[in-house]
Amino acid sequence: MQAASDPALEQAVREIGRELHAALPSRPRHPVRALDDKAMELASRDAELRAALFRLVDVTPACRSLDDLAGHLAGYLEEVDGRSQSLDAAMRAARSAAGRRALGAAAATGVRHMAHRFIVGDSPQAALGVLRRLWDAGAASSVDLLGEATVTSAEADRYATRCHEALETLAAATRSWPEQPALEADSVGPLPRVNLSVKVSALTPLMRPEAPEVGREDAAGRMRPLLLRARELHAHLHIDMESLDALETTLDLVGELLEEDELRDGPSAGVVLQAYLRESPEQLERLLDWAGQSPRQPPLTVRLVKGAYWDHEVVEARQHGWKPPVFELKAESDRNFEQLTRRLLDARPAVRVAVASHNLRSVAHAIAYNRLAGGEDRDLELQVLRGLGDDLQHALADQGLRVRAYCPVGDLVAGMAYLVRRLLENTSNDSFLGEMGRGTPIEELLAAP
């Protein structure tokens, strides 16, 4: 493995990063998207406005009328200091019944627009148009059925049924799609057109850190048939990673299931590694040991992310008086992400590698290291979230790189937790997208973390 400070690697990272950056703003923006960007930009500058926006998004599905929604909005805005003229005008409007209806309608439209930016349809069938347009634009997709933690067995059964239906719908529809050689094979072999991301916590109501085997067995009962059907349909099943309390259960469950005789030779499957976890280097070594001892064809895909539950992990640890399991400086997560990228790329073909990030530096580093190590571009997959990484996705696809967009599907209510996490990510001061939005010079953005 090359050292982090290798000058040739640094130079290649900057060149690739500049090229990608130059390709970003060339595409005209949809007017709704530009409005959303404005709202995000305002929210990222003002913590109180950000809190008001999140609370509004959170309460929207529960509001019974436009009047009710406008009342909530006015209440939240009241807490914002130094309101702009337009926010003051909104609050004045909320004083009359007609004004409240108009304001409520505007707020509901705004939340719906924001949701549609991240959520591609309320069912797999409804999402097919977007997925096909992505494919035609040179991007593969992974569908994620929204609906977070499951509380009853009936909910877990319903989620499993929705996953089965999604596999059938996607398999039937994608069969007739035109060939896209860059998206359909790497040097190991074919890559499935259908890719579904699933969450273990949605497959069982029994996930408890104090009795992991109970949740594992219950989830296995629903995941095994899913894996078997994915194998028959030549689909890929990716197991998302959630907060730390689910990590051991998730990795043990996947490891055990994929070692079963009927699942050894497929389907294509994957797990997620979170670089913000201090213990992620050890977790990766465990994964690689497993991949070495249980060679699979096709190999396990590892999606490397930084991790979406940073605030949750920090708050939870502080409540217990523990040291947080996550790095507390953003640069530490970024540095670890790069180190894990290099380790993963070096471990091929025992695993397939997917690097999921919107950070130009992190992405350019993966592309540069792969090339310098003699790897082919098609042996590195780059992944973005729909709505956050659209521009980057186009820039990567235009360069012939393999890119996949993670596409949440489901209704607004089920998508609320997802939506709030993405808003948090998009408006946080530390985030790469936040920095880029504030106009930080590209050379600074591409500097080694």
Ligand X SMILES: Cc1cc2nc3c(=O)[nH]c(=O)nc-3n(C[C@H](O)[C@H](O)[C@H](O)COP(=O)(O)OP(=O)(O)OC[C@H]3O[C@@H](n4cnc5c(N)ncnc54)[C@H](O)[C@@H]3O)c2cc1C
| Least distance (Å) between residue 324 CB and ligand X | 9
Return the sign of the alpha-carbon dihedral for residues 26, 30, 31, 37: negative
One-letter amino acid for residue 52 of the chain: A
Rounded alpha-carbon distances, angstroms, from residue 73 to 118, 227, 228 = 22, 44, 47
Paired residues of 236 in beta bridges = 195, 268
Q: Residue 272 or 344: which CB sits closer to ligand X?
A: 272
| Least distance (Å) between residue 141 CB and ligand X | 10
| Least distance (Å) between residue 339 CB and ligand X | 14
Structural element, H or E, at residue 346:
helix 330-347
- Judge whether 113 and 33 are in contact, CB under 8 Å: no
| Least distance (Å) between residue 311 CB and ligand X | 9
List contacts with ligand X (CB under 6 A): 240-241, 272, 274, 276, 305-310, 326-330, 332-333, 356-359, 362, 383-385, 406, 425, 430-432
- Judge whether 435 and 443 are in contact, CB under 8 Å: no
Residue 57 phi/psi, 5° resolution? -60, -40
Q: Residue 49 or 326: which CB sits closer to ligand X?
A: 326
Q: Residue 232 or 430: which CB sits closer to ligand X?
A: 430
Q: Residue 66 or 424: which CB sits closer to ligand X?
A: 424
Q: Name the token pair of 11.
A: 């130079």
Q: Residue 9 or 385: which CB sits closer to ligand X?
A: 385
Distance CA 111, CA 30 (A): 16
Q: Residue 70 or 340: which CB sits closer to ligand X?
A: 340
DSSP string, 133-147: HHHHTT-EEEEEE--
Q: Residue 107 or 433: which CB sits closer to ligand X?
A: 433
| Least distance (Å) between residue 242 CB and ligand X | 7
| Least distance (Å) between residue 404 CB and ligand X | 7
| Least distance (Å) between residue 270 CB and ligand X | 10
Which is nearest to 78 in space by CA: 63, 56, 60? 56
Rounded alpha-carbon distances, angstroms, from residue 277 to 106, 293, 363 = 40, 25, 19
Q: Residue 369 or 432: which CB sits closer to ligand X?
A: 432
Rounded alpha-carbon distances, angstroms, from residue 195 to 11, 124, 145, 171, 316 = 35, 12, 12, 9, 32
Mapped onto helix, strand or coil, the DSSP state of residue 209 is: coil
Distance CA 166, CA 305 (A): 24
| Least distance (Å) between residue 67 CB and ligand X | 36
| Rg of the Cα atoms in the chain | 22
Which is nearest to 212 in space by CA: 241, 240, 253? 253
| Least distance (Å) between residue 98 CB and ligand X | 42
One-letter amino acid for residue 370 of the chain: N
- Judge whether 156 and 204 are in contact, CB under 8 Å: yes
| Least distance (Å) between residue 358 CB and ligand X | 4
Q: Residue 262 or 328: which CB sits closer to ligand X?
A: 328
Mapped onto helix, strand or coil, the DSSP state of residue 124 is: helix
Q: Residue 174 or 197: which CB sits closer to ligand X?
A: 197
